[in-house]
Amino acid sequence: MDVYLPIANLSVNGLVIVALGMITGILSGLFGVGGGFLTTPLMIFYGIPPTVAAASASTQVTGASVSGVFAHTRRGGVDYRMGGVMVVGGIVGAGIGAILFRFFQSIGQIDVVINVLYVVMLGTIGTLMAREALQTLRPTEKGVARAAKKRRHHPLVTALPLRWRFYGSGLYISPLAPLLLGVIVGTLTMLMGVGGGFILVPAMLYILGMNANVVVGTSLFQILFVTIATTMMHALTTRAIDIVLAVLLLLGSVSGAQIGAKIARLAKPEILRLVLSIIVLLVALRMLFGLGYRPDEIFTVVGL
């Protein structure tokens, strides 16, 4: 089924794009991440111009996270106060990201920057997740209970001034911590064309020390609003959102998200995390290959 994309200016096989959306949708339903880290590189690999791929992926992540947010809201899994603070940070971050994007584009290094970010972020997080998942999978020795965690959140978090109560997360910390986290994730969202869930979820668990029950819901809540902001930002600045491409991706991802959520109820969470970490590491390795060994193209062309 051939579909012509009016903004990307080329025709693609529609079913391939729907399948691509489906894969990311399943990931987002399973793990509570948007899956942009997988769609954007795969679309570029398929031949879609990088800017169009990143812009349209942010639209798709919005769709994939909506149903998740509704589902988590119903069972009280969203800390709105925490989410709100992060959204504010995220929108500021998206603005910073847009400025950085322009800057790196003007000096001609945007593709290198994106590649480096992918390798560093995905490599680090993938390794951490894989290690943690393997540790929990290893049979625990009898009689030896695991040592209780000494501290709930990172010492830097406690050092920040001003304290708010976040009831849903069970925390009494400075709002500056989630705000800064939001800014960082928002910047990456704009630069990498990802939702940022794969950074947000571990950061909320291990840096902020949030209650695990509200982590996925709150992360999806933040992703939803920040991707809405990035979509608008792309519409107004890069003008690279291809609505036909976005609809195809959405068709796959919204249904994939539902299927993913069903599978998530059946599988063991440790196994799921191990699978996710393997996927993340594979993407990172592919990027590293292009960066360090042989790039896909030596010569690239931009219009003046």
Partner 1 sequence: MLNRALLLVLCFFALTGQRDPILVPEVSQHEVQVRQGFTGTELLLFGAILDPSGARGGRDYDIVVVLKGPTGAIRVREKERIGGMWINANTTDFRSAPSYFAVASSAPVADIVDERTAAIYEFGLGFIQLSPSGTIDPEEQLKFTEGLVDLRRRQGLFKEDMGGVKISEQVLYQARIALPSSVQTGTYTAETFAITRGRVIASAVAEVEVKKVGFERFIELFSQQQAFWYGLIAVSLSIFMGWLAGRVFAMI
Please answer whether residues 160 and 177 qualify as being in contact, where contact means their C-beta atoms are separated by less than 8 angstroms: yes
Closest to partner 1 by CB, 36 vs 178, is 36
Among 76, 99, 108, 278, binds partner 1 (CB under 8 A): 108
- Please state whether 243 falls in left (phi above 0), alpha (psi between -120 and 50) or beta: alpha
Closest to partner 1 by CB, 144 vs 302, is 302
> Which residues fall within 8 angstroms of residue 41, CB to CB, at 6 or more apart?
118, 283, 286, 287
Give 259: exposed, middle or buried? Use CB within 10 Å, 0-12, 13-18, 19+.
Answer: middle
Q: Stretches 145-153, 189-197, 231-239, 268-276: which one binds partner 1 (CB under 8 A)? A: 231-239
The verdict on 39 binding partner 1 (CB under 8 A) reads: no
Closest to partner 1 by CB, 87 vs 177, is 87
Among 65, 189, 211, 219, binds partner 1 (CB under 8 A): 65
What is the rounded CA–CA span in Å between residue 64 and residue 67?
Answer: 7
Q: Stretches 33-41, 154-162, 165-173, 250-258: which one binds partner 1 (CB under 8 A)? A: 250-258
The verdict on 269 binding partner 1 (CB under 8 A) reads: no
The verdict on 86 binding partner 1 (CB under 8 A) reads: no
Using CB under 8 A as the binding criterion, the count of chain residues that bind partner 1 stands at: 54
Among 24, 39, 59, 218, binds partner 1 (CB under 8 A): 59
What is the rounded CA–CA span in Å between residue 154 and residue 150?
Answer: 11
Both tokens of residue 249? Answer: 């991706």
The verdict on 135 binding partner 1 (CB under 8 A) reads: no
The verdict on 298 binding partner 1 (CB under 8 A) reads: yes
- Please state whether 239 falls in left (phi above 0), alpha (psi between -120 and 50) or beta: left
Q: Stretches 32-40, 128-136, 179-187, 234-242: which one binds partner 1 (CB under 8 A)? A: 234-242
Tell me the DSSP string of 33-57. ---HHHHHHHHHHHT--HHHHHHHH
Could you give the C-alpha distances from 40 to 7, 61, 66, 256, in angstroms and in order?
16, 11, 19, 17
The verdict on 103 binding partner 1 (CB under 8 A) reads: no
The verdict on 19 binding partner 1 (CB under 8 A) reads: no
Tell me the DSSP string of 90-106. HHHHHHHHHHHHHHHHH
Biggest CA-to-CA distance, the chain: 69
The verdict on 287 binding partner 1 (CB under 8 A) reads: no
Closest to partner 1 by CB, 79 vs 111, is 111
Closest to partner 1 by CB, 148 vs 302, is 302
What is the rounded CA–CA span in Å between residue 22 and residue 16?
Answer: 10
Q: Which residues of this protein are in contact with partner 1, per CB under 8 A?
A: 2-4, 6-7, 9-11, 59-60, 62-67, 70-71, 108-109, 111-112, 116, 228, 231-232, 234-236, 239, 241, 243-244, 246-247, 250-251, 254-255, 257-258, 290-292, 294-295, 297-304
